[in-house]
Amino acid sequence: MKTLAHKQDSLLIVYDADAIQHPGPFLFSPEHWAGQGAVTGEAAGRGRAIFLETGFGHAVLRQYLRGGWAAKASRDRYVFSGFEQSRPMAEFVVLEHLLAQGLPVPAPLAAMCIREGALYRGWILMRMIRHSATLADLLSVRQQDPVLWRSMGACIRRFHDHGLVHADLNARNILVGDADEIHLIDFDRARLRKNDARAFSANLKRLHRSLQKLWPEPGLEQLQWCWQKLQEGYNRSPAAS
């Protein structure tokens, strides 16, 4: 991966030059991709995610959007405190770092920050994790699979051992592939902090709350069994893995 930067007036794009030869704002325009017939789907969520089939492969385009009360002030603008501190640039850097460590994350392709006075808007473009489904979508059919739940726990532990604190670890941000390979997604506001046991514990508690909220009924008692298997995978020592 060869990361370069393209600066133009109040706009900054960072991109993988091995995949993208001609960076520009068009890369982050849903209208551009729709005109190319490249849009293959869309995922609902706080940040709009559009699935693309491009000349550089299958990709996901996500715009940074606010949720909750903050969206009443502005849906898509954030306070500007420097390009490097913007959410798209920060997420690109985190993804680049995790990918270099061999962790299962979507490869970053490009990110763009557009400054508008004291505010900015942002987008990120990533490789798509193909042939996968979110854990949330699999809860009703994968409750009897201890290997899968232990694998999820072990995967999360790998991220924590590398100092990654996920800002929103929930069942929709865990992808399960056809061969049960596990990926984490959505690293907006993620942080790298070595040995932050409190933050790692908060990650797990957030995931547990997400599972409690999404778990199909009847069958909540099965959640505790699955969670126990996830914890077994998480707590297994590296030497035993």
* Whole-number Å distance between alpha carbons of 110 and 173: 20
Provide the 10 A C-beta neighbour count for residue 86: 24
As a CATH number, domain 132-240 is 1.10.510.10
Q: What is the pLDDT of residue 44?
A: 66
What are the structural domain ranges in the chain? 3-127, 132-240
The torsion angles phi and psi of 3, rounded to 5 degrees, stand at -90, 125
Active-site residue set:
168
Q: What is the pLDDT of residue 68?
A: 55
pTM: 0.90
Q: What is the pLDDT of residue 240?
A: 44
Mean pLDDT for back-to-back runs of 10 residues, the chain (241 residues): 91 96 94 95 75 95 77 76 94 97 97 96 96 92 90 97 96 94 96 93 97 86 93 77 44
